[in-house]
Amino acid sequence: MTRTQVAIIGAGPSGLLLARLLGRHGIDSTIVEQRSRAYVESRIRAGLLERSTVELLDECGVGARLHAEGLVHDGVRLAFAGQVHRLDLRELAGHPMTVYGQTELTKDLGEALARAGARLVYEAERVAVHEPDGPRPRVSYELAGVEHELECDFIAGCDGFHGVCRASVPAAAIKLYERVYPFGWLGVLAEVPPVDDELIYANHARGFALCSMRSRERSRYYVQCPLDDRVESWPDARFWDELRARQPSHEAGRLITGPSIEKSIAPLRSFVAEPMRFGRLFLVGDAAHIVPPTGAKGLNLAAADVRVLYQGLVEHYRGGATRLLDEYSARALSRVWKATRFSWWFTSVMHRFSDDSFAYKLQLAELEYLIDSPAASRAFAENYVGLDFPA
């Protein structure tokens, strides 16, 4: 049996970020991941970072490439009824957003941890959590046919929605809240310049569309599609035609197309598990909550969880106090539910749920009010760039 202070299950952004922050404060951790490092670093995920997430990456010393290559966005654009309307995020909420792909962020964190000599176990099988409510929790796993056991003080469950950590909690001890949406996002990644310098969220009678980017030469585009659609039913030509049809004429005319380098359909759901702490097991990120990608809150919420948890662990190991650890679930969930509300609302106002023309007219009225009302615009911008942490 080996020993570590904090066992981290999952080597996605939240697990890597937590390990890096703890390491800079002299706290020992070991990451156990079921997938290979190449698989983890190649996953196409979020790319829009809140100011607080950028600050956290700076705090753990991995922000240099982000600041050199990331795209700072002072505004966002909403398209509906054939027009595009810009909301100035910096003016309305005081902060911009930064576009930097999760794949690049994961690589930066992984390289920093490798240089620091951190312990990362990839391709672990049969990962299991033992006695999380006892004084000496353990994590067991199998690596290359050999069984291993890791004794620790705390376990951080950063292993995602389908991971073992939440599944190890007795059903009577956890309450799940979920809303599944009746559509998905068909996403395409292509080596083409973006149609605009800022993101364009489009509400259209044919369905939602999003024009996003990963760099000045690489674009990430999405269209709303039925849940039972298959990627094979969407050749590139069909996708580009549909994306163009859902944009106002000026933006459609500027759209540059090219062969896709990645294409996938993602279902949408809102999901929250309460509480987020069970004895010495803490759920982090997607293990505890999922939001639809509208508004890009998923990765940022995971980073917010890490911020709360690592501060509690630092407080504990420095002086033995447990106040912040005891408050972890309540503090994290306060931010989670506010972001869940915003993501649900933004999804509801931008997507077509049915052919009901009355509901569509209400969406347009809601969007017109959002653009015309300074108070509504400010509230949107505050939520979009990320709410401040409570004291």
Q: Which residues are catalytic?
A: 73, 201, 293, 297, 384
Q: Do 152 and 140 meet the contact criterion of CB atoms below 8 Å apart?
A: no
Q: Do 276 and 173 meet the contact criterion of CB atoms below 8 Å apart?
A: no
Q: Do 204 and 82 meet the contact criterion of CB atoms below 8 Å apart?
A: no
Token pair in block for residue 125: 């099988």
Strands 175-190 and 154-157: unpaired
What residue spans of 197-235 are helical by DSSP H? none
Residue 125: phi and psi, rounded to 5, are -115, 160
Is residue 323 packed enough to be buried (19+ CB in 10 Å), middle (13-18) or exposed (0-12)? exposed
Give bridge partners of residue 283 from the DSSP assignment: 157
Residue 329, SS3? Answer: helix
Nearest Cα neighbor of 53 from 94, 125, 105, 4 is 105
Nearest Cα neighbor of 51 from 43, 59, 40 is 59
Is the backbone of residue 14 left (phi > 0), alpha (psi -120 to 50) or beta?
alpha
Is residue 28 packed enough to be buried (19+ CB in 10 Å), middle (13-18) or exposed (0-12)? middle
For 74, 75, 256, the CA distances from 253, given in Å and listed in that order, are: 24, 22, 9
